[in-house]
Amino acid sequence: MEQLSRSSITVRGIVQGVGFRPFIYHLAHKYGLHGWVYNSSGGVVIEAEGNVMDLSCFIRDISETPPPLAHIESLEVHSALALQGDKEFVIRESSAEEGDFVPVSPDIAVCPDCLRELFDPQDRRFRYPFINCTNCGPRFTITRDIPYDRKHTTMRDFRMCETCQAEYENPFDRRFHAQPNCCPRCGPKLSLWDRQQEIECADPLRETQRLLKEGSIAAIKGLGGFHLACDAANDEAVARLRSRKLRTFKPFAVMCADLDAVRQICEVNAEEARLLQDPRRPIIVLQKREHGSLSPRIAPFNRSLGVMLPYTPLHYLLFAESGFSALVMTSANMSEEPITIGNVQAREELKELADIFLVHDRDIHLRCDDSVAWVQEGRERFIRRSRGYAPHPLSLSVSSPGILACGADLKNTFCLSKGNLYFLSQYIGDLENLEACRFYEHSIAHFERFFRIEPTVVAHDMHPDYFSTTYARKLRAKTLVAVQHHHAHIASCMAEHGVDEPVIGVALDGTGYGSDGTIWGGEFLVGDYQEFMRRAHLRVTPLPGGEAAVKHPYRMALSFLYSRYGENALDQVPALRERVREEEAGVIFTQVERMLNCPLTSSCGRLFDAVSALIGVRDSVTYEGQAAIELEMIADRNVTDAYSWHLWKEQGMLVIDTWEIVDAVLEDLRAGVTQPIIAARFHQTMATVIAGVCEMIRQEGGVQKVALSGGVFQNRLLLERSLHALRAREFEVLWHQKVPTNDGGICLGQAVIAARTGIHKSHT
Ligand code: ZN
Ligand code: ZN
Ligand code: FE
């Protein structure tokens, strides 16, 4: 006699919006099981009954052969439930339970099945740029509301034709419940415009290809916003794009036709190749090859290049039969404003930048910039975690009561959390203009609605003048938790590694508001989520003119020089005297002398800036971090010796004498040592400082784990040397893999700190 059994199975991880329910439906049919499956806030929930053996095969197959985009984090089975005698297996509507959220999937690159159809002349979607299925296509960026149904997306204006509707309703079709499902008959259409009007043409795509070939700059509507594109091999076009964008040196990202095309211009290792082809399709920063066929203006003074592969059907069509091996694809925006998303807005805002506009009538509801990552020691490191990743949550062991963490004002992202889930927003950008601030507020409102989180605790940076701080304070009724910037950096690194014990935190960045009101940025902290102590920092140095010193690293160089040598400062670096006008140097010296608009800073970023300017690499920057990046780029990788350095103790605090390090740099400079060697020695020195100071702190307190965070650790060379030096002393080192090491990761740290301290605060 057949032995029947019933089990409930809960699958957690990336299991929604990736064709998981049809997959379960198929499996249940294969094994003749009855019951149901549905999407809940806690994951995919299944109940199935049937033959015991079939049931166990069913469960085995779920864990062993999930759909390609699924990532199962856990599979929980309860067996031997009471039999219900279901007559069939059904897919139940996903339900949003009260107080629960319905997951929203990130946007996913077009899948191999759809690509095959896209280029199959027999297929009804041949060359249709909006082809998608359950396994691929737009999600987050077209979602207006939850639950994720067509009527809640920007596809609601398109009525499915009969054929599409039949696919949508057929559980055996790979477009079953694919919300953006459409075809050339019923779906969105492309159109091509110049600055005045629509360009009459039979095929907007082929016309775009032709115009790009001729050197035009095109604004192309993508998934999360517009790109500005031009032929990456056309030096004149790239130069024109640079001058129009007023972007003198900041590297452009390129999109390559395929992996082979990437390999022609960059070195690609196995992990990099995997990430380039990942369905999330981040931009991966790769090592440039010498003498590729690209315009040298794409990433000047840089050894690396940001590269991505096509991710929408439209991108694939752009490359098909075109002969392009790479196109520049840079976010389209006016100055520092958020990426452009609307058609009309694009033609208005980008009219000075683009010659032509390739648009379509599927609206982008939520802006989402490309993600940017690189690979170090075989692991993914984020510069920007956005498209493809947001709004997928991080699952942490620290439980949260419902928190909004507002982030920092640069490279802003925010985080909403509830329970063990932490939803990090897409990249918002610098909260420096009205548009960005609006985008920020708008996105927070969206996230609160999507994930049904009404935060009771709001965490923000300690900086009193941040927009994000002002925003947090406006939310009056809530418990506010002000989090020190570098504490948040370190906590975010701990959190993503699930570390919940005291660590030595090395937080190196450009600027962060310190607990004592000065500007920090070269910090060694000891602490956990609840609290921290500042144990060591770089020696403070005046920052002449505040922001002006950030834009003009030579000001920082002069500040170091004057602090050390007084009136004779310029004699130390004759070359600098030739580059900086005597009067201006005089003004800066007076500023430093009288401490006029001259806050003190322990910033490590500014130290890198100063060294870069002192040795003649970069005096003024056209994008953030440029001086430090170029210093890293020229460093001779074969040089491994360091300058000697010292520190002193001041009321229990270790102070690292950076002036002495600058002295050593000057000495090399006078001795005629080349820039690449000085740059390398300086990097090595900072790595030995990091390891040496951690050692002293360990000897006093016994803490064995070190967390590295802050924007300075985007410097690959410094990170590599620091990891090496710390491991040589047998430290266990935590460094970011899931969120950016720059301020884009701050919100996660704020959230966990608030989760631990916020509830307590609300009672005091
Ligand atoms: Zn597909
Ligand atoms: Zn259709
Ligand atoms: Fe920072």
Q: What distance in angstroms lies between residue 293's CA and the mean position of ligand 3's atoms?
A: 37
> Please, what is the average pLDDT of the chain?
93
Q: What is the pLDDT of residue 71?
A: 81
**DSSP strand E in 155-265: where?**
190-193, 218-221, 226-231, 254-256
Ligand nearest to C-alpha 174: 1
Q: In angstroms, what is the span from residue 181 Cα to ligand 1's centroid?
A: 10
| Cα dist from 724 to 537, 686, 697, 732, 733, whole Å | 21, 12, 18, 11, 10
How does pLDDT run across 731-745, given as a tens digit for each residue?
Answer: 999 999 999 999 999
CA distances to 131, 229, 284, 508, 511 from 255, in Å: 20, 9, 10, 32, 33
Which residue spans within 198-258 are E strands per DSSP?
Answer: 218-221, 226-231, 254-256
Ligand sitting nearest the alpha carbon of 117: 1
What gap in Å lies between CA 271 and CA 260, rounded to an integer? 15
User: Is the model's pLDDT at 761 over the cut of 80?
Assistant: no
Length of the chain equals 764
| Residue 709 contacts residue 491 (beta carbons within 8 Å) | no
> How many whole angstroms from 158 Cα to the centroid of ligand 2?
9
pLDDT tens digits, 583-622: 999 999 999 999 999 999 999 999 999 999 999 999 999 9
Strand, coil or helix: 436:
helix
User: How much is the pLDDT for 40?
Assistant: 77
At 763, the pLDDT band (50, 70, 90 cuts) reads very low
Residue 149 tokens, joined: 């149904």
* Structure confidence at residue 759 as a pLDDT band (50, 70, 90): low
Q: Which residues contact 482 (CB under 8 A, 6 or more apart)?
A: 459, 460, 461, 462, 469
The percent of residues in the chain predicted with pLDDT above 70, rounded, is 97
Which of 15-19, 395-399, 617-621, 734-738 is predicted least confidently? 15-19
CA separation (Å) from 543 to 17, 562, 596, 616, 617?
A: 50, 12, 10, 19, 20
This prediction has a pTM of 0.94
Q: Are 416 and 400 in contact (CB under 8 A)?
A: no
**Tens digit of each residue's pLDDT (9 = 90 or more) over 229-287:** 999 999 999 999 999 988 778 899 999 999 999 999 999 999 999 999 999 999 999 99
The pLDDT of residue 101 is 63
pLDDT, residue 672, reads 96
pLDDT of res. 762: 43
Q: In angstroms, what is the span from residue 252 Cα to ligand 3's centroid?
A: 24
CA of 508 to the centre of ligand 3 (A): 7
Cis peptide bond N-terminal to 391, omega within 30: yes
Using the mean position of ligand 1's atoms as its centre, give its distance from the Cα of residue 182 in Å.
Answer: 12
Report the DSSP beta bridge partners of residue 421.
395, 418
Ligand 2 mean position to 128 CA, how many Å?
A: 11
Q: How far is CA 757 from CA 299, 486, 524, 577, 738, in A?
A: 44, 16, 22, 52, 23
- 11, 20 contact by CB (below 8 A): yes
Distances from the Cα of 710 to the Cα of 393, 469, 686, 748, angstroms: 22, 20, 14, 13
Q: CA distances (Å), 592 to each of 468, 566, 598, in order?
A: 31, 10, 6
Distance 487 CA to ligand 3 centre (A): 10
- E strand or H helix that includes residue 447: helix 434-450
